[in-house]
Amino acid sequence: MLLCSPSAMNRRTFLKISAASAALVGCSPNPPKRKKHIAVIGGGIIGSSIAYHLTKGGAQVSLLERNRLAELASRGTFAWINATWAKQPRHYHEFNQAGVQSWKHLQSELDIPVRWGGSLEWFTSVERQRILQAQISEQIEWGEPATMITGDTLSELEPNVVFGNVDSVAYSPNDGAVDPVLATRKMVAAAQKEGASIRENCAVETVSTLANGQVQLNTSCGPLIVDDYVLATGADAAATISLADIKIPQRTTPGIIVITQPMPRLINRIIVAPGVHIHQRDDGRIVLGEQDGAPDNTAHQMRLSHRPTSFPDPAFAEQHASRILMTAEAFVPGMASADIEDVYIGWRPLPLDGHPVLGRSPNQPRAYLAIMHSGVSLAPAVGELVAKEILYNASAATLDEYRPDRNFEEIRRY
């Protein structure tokens, strides 16, 4: 098994490989003299992180975004950076822990405000609470700092939150939350500063392979010849078929995200209460996410079939936001005076088994796929690992479970 050794040019970057990406095998011992030209298709948080890490690693990068940066899932997201009990099985849990750690590094590298402090989660049903207790016990067995906390400790951590009659609450102290649009813009600005070309309003339509092995991307803003390209195209399932000749089964689901105007600090942690998720960003804005998706009925299916990211009428947006706000107010009464700033409908990029898809298409070896949920939690780790796999023509063992040619079994998890 050949371990990759870094070129002098990339040594600094290489030394920063996190524990998760330590084992890169199959690396080319002689990196090419000419800079690799790599296109990243999709300017959400995943494409932006990959573009940033590729540029940092010495590639010539073109980031191509059909619309504007971070306008789809990376805007309509709750943006909780987490690796809690829900991240299963253990390899995926560890990958998410690497994601959480990689945010600490990226945060200081690019001066991105991340609110740390952990998450507090509980349920109404006694049976579900019992399961939560077991799930936290498993976390403890896995060496995580997660714990169940009660009474006075809860009021000390969150004096403005009403926990009701619940006996105990799961506390995952490593979690944080971020403004995903700001983070995306910061990564793109840093990549651009290092020479990456950023093209918004530029859709990649088809791909042709050239005789010399390069590929030509035919885009709405002209042709572009590159050595490799990354599909960070999110929930657009058609993109992987037309651009990388592979179908990735997804069960994309919608979620409503409400953002309030800035408020004095009310909460310090991510509150995962029955029916609603709540956190307050560094800028004072409170972000609310619903736990359940849209009701599964024909009327909703029809309205949602073209995947809108906003409501057809501002009155509907207002209605939904007020409903979610009311649920939140029961837990954070101080939110009664909150004013709504934005309401989004986000669409989760969600491979059928709930796990990321990371790796080259078996049918178009120049195409590297990066499609996933929990993309906010994973973005910096994914950016770093994908950049290394592409630049060193290597394989990171951490990503072995997430290759595009696996069998996708439907599992109802995020």
Pick from 53, 348, 355, 388: which binds ligand FAD (CB under 6 A)? 348
From residue 155, alpha-carbon distances to 143, 163, 170, 287 in Å are 26, 9, 14, 21
- Does 87 sit near ligand FAD (CB under 6 A)? no
> Which one of the spans 8-16, 76-84, 156-164, 396-404 is the region binding ligand FAD (CB under 6 A)?
76-84
Cα separation of 300 and 123, whole Å?
A: 27
- Does 71 sit near ligand FAD (CB under 6 A)? yes
Pick from 376, 387, 391, 394: which binds ligand FAD (CB under 6 A)? 376
Pick from 39, 232, 340, 391: which binds ligand FAD (CB under 6 A)? 232
71 or 227: whose CB is closer to ligand FAD? 71
Pick from 28, 67, 108, 261: which binds ligand FAD (CB under 6 A)? 67
Crossing angle of the two packed helices 90-110 and 375-392, in degrees rounded to 10: 90
Neighbours of 312 (CB within 10 A): 9
For the CB of residue 80, give the shortest distance to ligand FAD in the complex, in Å: 3
Pick from 40, 79, 100, 324: which binds ligand FAD (CB under 6 A)? 79
- Does 84 sit near ligand FAD (CB under 6 A)? no
Pick from 257, 273, 321, 387: which binds ligand FAD (CB under 6 A)? 257
> Which one of the spans 37-45, 163-171, 187-195, 315-323 is the region binding ligand FAD (CB under 6 A)?
37-45
> Which one of the spans 11-19, 61-69, 312-320, 361-369 is the region binding ligand FAD (CB under 6 A)?
61-69
Tokens of 203: 């859709």
- Does 380 sit near ligand FAD (CB under 6 A)? no
Cα separation of 189 and 196, whole Å?
A: 9
45 or 338: whose CB is closer to ligand FAD? 45
- Does 93 sit near ligand FAD (CB under 6 A)? no
- Does 394 sit near ligand FAD (CB under 6 A)? no
Pick from 10, 13, 62, 74: which binds ligand FAD (CB under 6 A)? 74
Cβ pair 24, 394 in contact under 8 A: yes
- Does 204 sit near ligand FAD (CB under 6 A)? yes
374 or 395: whose CB is closer to ligand FAD? 374
- Does 46 sit near ligand FAD (CB under 6 A)? yes
Pick from 65, 121, 228, 389: which binds ligand FAD (CB under 6 A)? 65
Cβ pair 82, 114 in contact under 8 A: no
> Which one of the spans 128-136, 228-236, 327-335, 384-392 is the region binding ligand FAD (CB under 6 A)?
228-236
Applying CB under 6 A, what is the total number of residues that bind ligand FAD? 41
Site string for ligand FAD, 96-135 (x = CB under 6 A): ----------------------------------------
The site for ligand FAD (CB under 6 A) is made up of 41-47, 64-67, 71-74, 76-80, 203-204, 232-236, 239, 255, 257, 289, 346-349, 372-377
